[in-house]
């Protein structure tokens, strides 16, 4: 059971992004309350976070002289009374995010900073559904959050100066740099990256090239760090498909419709790194 009086940071959602953000915060010395309504997900998250902390230390991605903060878990949002900063990191579904954020807002009070971590849902769409719209600001942490030190920050038209200041304080404690962008569907990174990943999957489906060859060309010729399909596997193919659908619904642009190859992978349960298989096979996963 969480003891919120000893913590000022909570993360809601024990999935891929929630555990990654929790790893980053704990590795930076913060005590974190991790919330999820699924106890099994919380149990799995503990093992994942321990693995990720070891990985981050091996990569030199966290302060070497900082003792990791405690991670406590709870299945109840009601345990967040007294927490002053909350990162919501559940799946990309607007109504569900708004419901969770409203529940959190009613518990933590008007002075707390609420952060929605999203790859594409406009912050204003969520803020309009909250009791105090000015409390909400958006982030797009990249996966793995404990390795990538740049964060896309999304300031909605309602977002208050105090909320932005609260987020900047948190990012400073996490030793993360921020680039602030205007609110829009997909912001900058997803608007550019996700259709490229979709096109890469389409090329594989059309048998133009293998996943390995597509990635090799993008890495060797165009300087992409890992290749689009390894990146898609790391994001999670189900998450990528959901984000593409959200972009299509908000822009009407056909390029955002998930291609058949991507949808087939999702139907078959080949979700990428987290499931052990996607466009590639993985022996060891972050779990």
- The per-residue pLDDT string of the chain (287 residues; one tens digit each, 9 = 90 and over) reads 444 444 589 999 999 999 999 999 999 999 999 999 999 999 999 999 999 999 999 999 998 889 999 999 999 999 999 899 999 999 989 999 999 999 999 999 899 999 999 999 999 999 999 999 999 999 999 989 999 999 999 999 999 999 999 999 999 999 999 999 999 999 999 999 999 999 999 999 999 999 999 999 999 999 999 999 999 999 999 999 999 999 999 999 999 999 999 999 999 999 999 999 999 999 765 44
Judge whether 241 and 263 are in contact, CB under 8 Å.
Answer: yes
Q: List Cβ neighbours of 61 (8 Å cut-off, separation of 6 or more).
A: 27, 146, 147, 149
> Which is nearest to 90 in space by CA: 102, 78, 82, 79?
102
Sign of the dihedral through C-alpha 177, 60, 234, 227: positive
Q: Which stretch of DSSP H or E encloses residue 43?
A: helix 39-58
Specify the pLDDT at position 284. Answer: 60
**Can you say whether residue 123 is alpha, beta or left, with left for phi > 0 and alpha for psi between -120 and 50 degrees?**
alpha
Q: Which stretch of DSSP H or E encloses residue 42?
A: helix 39-58
Place of tokens 């909400």: 136
Specify the pLDDT at position 277. Answer: 97
Specify the pLDDT at position 283. Answer: 79
pTM: predicted TM-score of the whole model, two decimal places: 0.90
**Mapping DSSP to helix (H, G, I), strand (E, B) and coil, where does residue 92 land?**
coil
Peptide bond preceding 244: is omega within 30 degrees of 0, i.e. cis? Answer: no
Specify the pLDDT at position 8. Answer: 81
| DSSP-assigned letter for residue 131 | S
Cite the active site residues. 140
CB atoms within 10 A of CB 277: 18
| DSSP-assigned letter for residue 99 | H
Class of domain 189-275: mainly alpha
Domain segments of the chain: what residues?
A: 4-182, 189-275
> Which is nearest to 103 in space by CA: 137, 70, 71, 75?
75
Specify the pLDDT at position 286. Answer: 47
Alpha carbon distance 241, 111 (integer Å):
35
Q: List Cβ neighbours of 192 (8 Å cut-off, separation of 6 or more).
A: none
Q: Does domain 4-182 bear CATH number 2.60.120.10? A: no
């Amino acid at each position: 059971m969480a003891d919120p009086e000893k913590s000022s940071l909570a993360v809601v959602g024990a999935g891929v992004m929630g555990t990654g953000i929790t790893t980053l915060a704990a590795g930076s010395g913060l005590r974190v309350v991790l919330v999820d309504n699924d106890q099994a997900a919380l149990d799995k998250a503990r093992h994942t976070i321990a693995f990720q902390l070891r990985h981050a230390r091996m990569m030199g991605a966290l302060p070497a002289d900082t003792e990791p903060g405690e991670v406590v878990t709870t299945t109840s949002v009601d345990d967040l009374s007294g927490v002053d900063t909350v990162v919501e990191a559940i799946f990309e579904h607007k109504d569900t995010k708004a419901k969770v954020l409203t529940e959190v807002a009613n518990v933590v009070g008007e002075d707390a900073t609420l952060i929605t971590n999203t790859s594409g849902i406009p912050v204003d769409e969520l803020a309009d559904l909250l009791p105090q719209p000015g409390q909400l600001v958006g982030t797009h942490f990249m996966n793995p959050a404990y390795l990538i030190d740049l964060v896309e920050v999304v300031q909605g038209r309602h977002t208050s100066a105090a909320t932005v200041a609260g987020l900047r304080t948190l990012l400073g404690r996490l030793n993360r740099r921020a680039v602030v962008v205007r609110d829009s569907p997909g912001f900058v990174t997803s608007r550019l990256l996700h259709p490229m990943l979709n096109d890469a999957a389409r090329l594989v489906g059309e048998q133009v090239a293998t996943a390995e060859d597509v990635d090799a060309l993008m890495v060797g010729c165009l300087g992409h760090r890992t290749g689009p399909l390894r990146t898609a596997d790391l994001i999670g193919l189900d998450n990528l498909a959901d984000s593409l659908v959200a972009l299509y619904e908000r822009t009407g642009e056909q390029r955002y419709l998930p291609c058949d190859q991507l949808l087939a992978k999702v139907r078959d349960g080949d979700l990428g790194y987290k499931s052990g298989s996607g466009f590639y096979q993985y022996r060891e996963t972050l779990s």
